[in-house]
């Protein structure tokens, strides 16, 4: 009798699992194709190239910022997109953040489209072409900011300019928020949020940089995947400091400040934060797993019940996948003695930490102290913010973003994900539950690797499709 019951239970379980796998398929949706009328790919590339040539390099040191370049950039926008600047209200916030309003005449919560026009430095990087040349060659626009983030800014303005030219009025107000200090975690986006909040404006949805359309990044899914960030990890900068009396290097002290610091770093390296599959990452597995072959689908269909195992698999799959499932610690700077023959009186390591969803600045610092377990190593919090709130993926706003993606990338599988970098979007997360992080460009692995590195570039075709994405988004509000 017991054997029969066990057999029946096993049979029922197998049948249930089979039905779950059978139902685990992508949704059958076919959005309208993007309307690219009025969008000139080559002209857009030329305008982006002009803006890339303006070296709007950010720095945490105000004296190092070329304010004339930023002013030139703002003025050039007026000249390149004249109809937009006649139709939209524009104001400059703080030291150069731009806030535009495209009025609809309808009293509904607005859409906010974000980008930033500051870029990171290029010093010390082995560029094969001049980094601010704006060279257009072999169907690519080359230069710092081509993707991050002047490309998105141009794609937005190309869409707006074309629609304004056609006499189009959006179904709800649209704000364009273009930051001037995103790369140094500045205040431009904060000022935009404060300005809108003071006016009683609460956004319907917000879209900023983040995920992109990529291929070959998810096991068993060869087709393009468009990952839309629902949240971003927290950012924490910590200094680890050890001290000693110092002295002449001819008579070193065993276990001095650098040695103690090195031991602390190795303890952090040998004891990584635990890997966990957050609900957002589970949503990504669910969405992308539906496009995988049968064998993979059998696994991904049961992801809810296999969280620990899948977290472990992702943590070993790649650097990027590992960053999705755990808090990461990167030692980015080391300091010791100022002279070759002098013992260090102080040794310092800077740790740049990206905090996983579900953890906080405080819980992260507490764990670091437990792992290091040495009162002689001081932990100094330089700056930090907790992970952002998680935006909704069950509403009209996310559905519209997904439809806009498929309008220009009909073969792409759309999925939520966690953005592992920091962005200006986190400021809007405090006033809106539909903040999405997505760059509407199909990018190769090499192009993604060039962000903040040498030879940043974007294809003219991807820029054109990005403008089509924003045009679809605006026309279907």
Confidence of residue 6 (pLDDT cuts 50, 70, 90): very low
pLDDT at 113 over 50: yes
Torsion, Cα 398 233 420 266, to 10 degrees, reads: -160
What are 358's strand-pairing partners? none
Closest to 440 measured CA to CA, from 422, 476, 414: 414
All CATH 3.40.630.10 domain ranges of the chain, comma separated, are: 41-231+389-475
pLDDT of residue 92: 98
All CATH 3.30.70.360 domain ranges of the chain, comma separated, are: 234-385
pLDDT at 59 over 90: yes
Summarize pLDDT for 370-414 with one digit per residue, the tens. Answer: 999 999 999 999 999 999 999 999 999 999 999 999 999 999 999
pLDDT at 15 over 50: no
The class that CATH gives domain 234-385 is alpha beta
* pLDDT, mean of residues 154-167: 97
Beta strand 111-116 pairing with 205-214: parallel
pLDDT of residue 285: 85
Summarize pLDDT for 186-205 with one digit per residue, the tens. Answer: 999 999 999 999 999 999 99
pLDDT of residue 251: 84
Most confidently modeled range among 150-159, 207-216, 237-246, 333-342: 150-159
Burial class of 312 by CB neighbour count within 10 A (0 to 12, 13 to 18, 19+): middle
Reduced to 3 states (helix: H, G, I; strand: E, B; else coil), residue 126 is coil
Measure the CA–CA gap between 381 and 363, rounded to whole angstroms: 13
Measure the CA–CA gap between 22 and 1, rounded to whole angstroms: 31
| Terminal alpha carbon distance of the chain | 62
What are 380's strand-pairing partners? 239
Q: Give 41-231+389-475's CATH code, choosing from 1.10.8.590, 3.30.365.10, 1.10.3720.10, 3.40.630.10.
A: 3.40.630.10
Which of 27-41, 80-94, 369-383 has the weakest average pLDDT? 27-41
Burial class of 368 by CB neighbour count within 10 A (0 to 12, 13 to 18, 19+): buried
Measure the CA–CA gap between 32 and 407, rounded to whole angstroms: 6
pLDDT of residue 17: 44
* pLDDT, mean of residues 338-348: 92
Torsion, Cα 212 215 218 219, to 10 degrees, reads: 180
More confident residue, 12 or 398: 398
Q: Do residues 354 and 328 make contact, with C-beta atoms less than 8 angstroms apart?
A: yes
pLDDT of residue 188: 95
Task: Tell if the pTM clears 0.85, that is, is over it.
Answer: yes
Confidence of residue 302 (pLDDT cuts 50, 70, 90): confident
Measure the CA–CA gap between 321 and 301, rounded to whole angstroms: 19
Q: Do residues 202 and 431 make contact, with C-beta atoms less than 8 angstroms apart?
A: yes
Residue 302 DSSP symbol: T
């Amino acid at each position: 009798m017991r054997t029969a019951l066990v057999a029946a239970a096993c049979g029922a379980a197998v049948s249930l699992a089979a039905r779950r796998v059978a139902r685990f398929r992508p949704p059958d949706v076919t959005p309208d194709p993007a309307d690219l009328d009025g969008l000139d790919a080559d002209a857009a590339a030329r305008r982006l190239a002009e803006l890339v040539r303006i070296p709007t390099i950010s720095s945490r040191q105000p004296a190092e910022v070329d304010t004339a370049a930023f002013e030139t950039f703002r003025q050039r926008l007026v000249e390149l997109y004249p109809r937009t600047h006649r139709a939209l209200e524009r104001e400059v916030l703080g030291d150069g953040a731009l806030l535009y309003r495209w009025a609809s005449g309808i009293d509904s919560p607005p859409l906010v489209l974000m980008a930033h026009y500051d870029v990171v430095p290029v010093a010390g990087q082995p560029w094969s072409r001049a980094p601010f040349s704006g060279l257009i060659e072999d169907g690519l626009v080359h230069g710092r900011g081509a993707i991050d983030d002047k490309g998105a800014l141009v794609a937005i303005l190309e869409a707006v300019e074309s629609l304004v030219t056609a006499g189009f009025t959006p179904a709800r107000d649209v704000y364009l928020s273009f930051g001037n200090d995103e790369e140094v975690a500045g205040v431009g986006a904060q000022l935009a949020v404060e300005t809108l909040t003071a006016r009683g404006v609460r956004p319907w949805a917000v879209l900023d940089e983040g995920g992109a359309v990529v291929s070959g990044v998810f096991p068993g899914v060869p087709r393009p995947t468009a990952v839309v960030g629902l949240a971003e990890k927290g950012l924490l900068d910590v200094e680890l400091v050890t001290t000693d009396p110092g002295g002449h290097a001819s008579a070193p002290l065993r276990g001095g400040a650098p040695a103690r610091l090195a031991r602390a770093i190795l303890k952090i390296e040998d004891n990584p934060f635990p890997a966990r599959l957050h609900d957002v990452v589970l949503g990504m597995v669910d969405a992308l797993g539906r496009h995988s072959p049968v064998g993979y689908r059998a696994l991904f269909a049961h992801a809810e019940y296999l969280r620990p195992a899948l977290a472990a698999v992702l943590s070993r799959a790649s650097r990027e996948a590992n960053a999705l499932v755990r808090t990461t610690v990167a030692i980015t700077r080391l300091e010791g003695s100022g002279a070759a023959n002098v013992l260090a009186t102080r040794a310092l390591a800077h740790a740049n930490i990206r905090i996983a969803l579900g953890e906080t600045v405080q819980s992260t610092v507490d764990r670091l102290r437990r792992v290091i377990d040495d009162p002689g190593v001081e932990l100094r919090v330089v700056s930090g913010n907790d992970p952002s709130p998680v935006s909704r993926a069950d509403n009209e706003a996310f559905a519209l973003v997904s439809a806009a993606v498929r309008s220009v990338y009909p073969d792409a599988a759309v999925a939520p994900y966690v953005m592992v970098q920091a962005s200006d979007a986190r400021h809007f997360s405090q006033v809106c539950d539909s903040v999405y992080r997505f760059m509407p460009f199909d990018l190769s692995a090499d192009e993604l690797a060039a962000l903040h590195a040498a030879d940043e570039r974007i294809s003219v075709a991807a820029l054109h499709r990005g403008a089509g994405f924003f045009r679809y988004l605006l026309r279907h509000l």
